[in-house]
Amino acid sequence: MTVPDNCPPRYPSTGISVLIVGAGVAGLMAALEGWRNGHDVRIIERAPEQVTTGDSFTIGPTALRALCHWPQMAEENDRISHSPAISFHTMTGAPITAPTLVKYTQGSDPKGMSNHIIRHWRPRFHDMLRKQLLAIGIPVEYGHRAVEYFEDGPAGRAGVVLEDGARLEADVVVAADGIGSHSTAVTLGRELRARPAGESMYRTSFPVELAMADPMVRKRFPPVEGDGNIELWAGPTIRFFIERTADTMCWIMSHKNDDSAVESWSNKTDPEEVLKLTATIPDWPEVADRLIRLTPKDRLLHFRLMWRDPQPSWVSPAGRIVQIGDAAHTYVPASGNGATQGLEDAISLATCLRIAGQTDQAPWALRIHNKLRFVRVSCLQKLGLINQHNHSRVVKQEQGQPTTLKYLTAEWVWKHNPEPYAEENYNKVLDHLQRGTPFQDTNTPRGHVYRDWTIDEIMAVQERGEEVELDGEWE
């Protein structure tokens, strides 16, 4: 196949075959960056066809910098991304802070990237990655559900068993199939079940004209030009997130766990179910219920947040299987970092395999990637839990940017660049793993010393009314 001129040049072939399991944003980026870095890539997905549901998420500059290698995607990203102004409100919708563009700290990016928080509609961002894969001749193979992972160390191979019994093999298998991945049976030696994180979410996005059909909704949430607005209504146990742009309306309601919610992008529910919940909220405004009633039934999901405690090892014993994205590390939405860290994983992994250069060195590449990434993602997981708790408190009057956002806009968060970081530190970590030489992460808060922690430990501290201790410079 002839690759279009606007695709990036490839590094020389490494001869490493890579099978990617899961076509979420992490898996798609792993396929793109794997191809660019010279690997032979195949990607499979359990869904029978492309998933087009979902709402919005934040993609940070650490991931978006990689688009400089992909001119077509960089151009499309400029069209589909937006930087909404954010305001905080009480649970009655009364404003507490004025709409403000949230900025990353320490000035703007030296390469000219916007220093504002960037939001994307999940289906559009996903489709952008998928179309770029097709342009380089790599289709997503849908309807392939992996039910078992395996590796053969002496043969230098790994693979998956599909639901129909078929077996697929490669030099490296990338588990990008989410928190329910069966890969933990190999990486940890046992199936590790995720457990509820304590919250579920009603979530939707739909064409804004459907919302504007109601005069009361149109007056309270008028059509906007440009990048739109986000309102965050915060209460002790429930949060209501409303995002509106010129063409899309989105709302998300977080609440305590509900057995009817599951972790699935196809678990649809009826708006009337949400209204049963809002009927229990004191002084809940009618206009919010009207917005909920306008939601198309086929666009409203009930999503259960699931959690696995930080797992330091994402790599199988023989070094032929590696987890990325939610399969490796779980984030609550208040982290504002789940998608970004999955994309960072993809970039880092592809780079490490390119430096390894050949299949017999691939196991070291996977272990080095794991070492370069673990403490960073663990820090951001912890911040997400802190933010989730802070958002659940009764909101108090603040001046300027809410304190709950300061950590997530700190320089150590946004200034990291996973590709050069892997290039600069690959051999240092190789020496560390092989010879025990010292290695210190520099993509984490300065002065931070990592120690193991669990979600139960964090929640116990918060339930006692205490602050979670953060050593080092997190702001």
Domains of the chain: 17-82+118-193+309-425 (3.50.50.60), 195-307 (3.30.9.30)
Identify whether 122 is a catalytic site residue. Answer: no
- Mean pLDDT score, 435-439: 96
Q: How many Å apart are CA 155 and CA 351, to the nearest integer?
A: 24
Q: How many Å apart are CA 288 and CA 292, to the nearest integer?
A: 6
Instruction: Tell me which amino acid residue 97 is.
Output: T
Residue 159, strand partner residues: 150, 169
351 band by pLDDT with thresholds 50, 70 and 90: very high
| pTM of this prediction exceeds 0.85 | yes
pLDDT of residue 404 exceeding 70: no
- What is the DSSP secondary-structure string of 18-85? EEEE--SHHHHHHHHHHHHTT-EEEEEESSSS------EEE--HHHHGGGGG-HHHHHHHHHH-B--E
- Mean pLDDT score, 253-267: 74
Which of 22-36, 37-51, 300-314, 423-437 has the least mean pLDDT?
Answer: 300-314
pLDDT of residue 391 exceeding 60: yes
Higher pLDDT, 213 or 191: 213
Residue of 203, 304, 320, 367 marked active site: 203
Instruction: Tell me which amino acid residue 171 is.
Output: D
pLDDT of residue 221: 92
Q: How many Å apart are CA 341 and CA 414, to the nearest integer?
A: 11
- Mean pLDDT score, 159-181: 96
pLDDT of residue 17 exceeding 80: yes
Which of 133-137, 209-213, 454-458 has the least mean pLDDT?
Answer: 454-458
- Mean pLDDT score, 186-206: 85
- Mean pLDDT score, 121-128: 92
pLDDT of residue 162: 98
Assigned token pair, 131: 């179309």
Give percent above pLDDT 70 in the chain: 91
In this predicted model, what pLDDT tens digit does every residue of 82-119 receive, in sequence order? 899 988 888 999 998 888 887 776 555 545 556 678 89
User: What sign has the CA pseudo-torsion 263, 268, 269, 274?
Assistant: positive
Q: How many Å apart are CA 175 and CA 3, to the nearest integer?
A: 27
Nearest to 181, CA basis, from 27, 377, 337:
27
Of the segments 71-85, 329-343, 352-366, 452-466, which one has the largest average pLDDT value? 352-366
Q: Are 224 and 245 in contact (CB under 8 A)?
A: yes
pLDDT of residue 1: 54
pLDDT of residue 399 exceeding 50: no
pLDDT of residue 111: 55
pLDDT of residue 402: 54
User: What sign has the CA pseudo-torsion 361, 365, 366, 371?
Assistant: positive
- Mean pLDDT score of the chain, rounded to an integer? 89
- Mean pLDDT score, 337-364: 97
- Mean pLDDT score, 335-360: 95
Nearest to 409, CA basis, from 2, 33, 61, 87:
61
Higher pLDDT, 341 or 180: 341
400 band by pLDDT with thresholds 50, 70 and 90: very low
Higher pLDDT, 250 or 332: 250
pLDDT of residue 311 exceeding 60: yes
pLDDT of residue 394: 44
- Mean pLDDT score, 374-395: 81
Q: Residue for token digits 């403490």?
A: 375
pLDDT of residue 353 exceeding 60: yes
Higher pLDDT, 197 or 179: 179
Higher pLDDT, 121 or 20: 20
pLDDT of residue 273 exceeding 90: yes
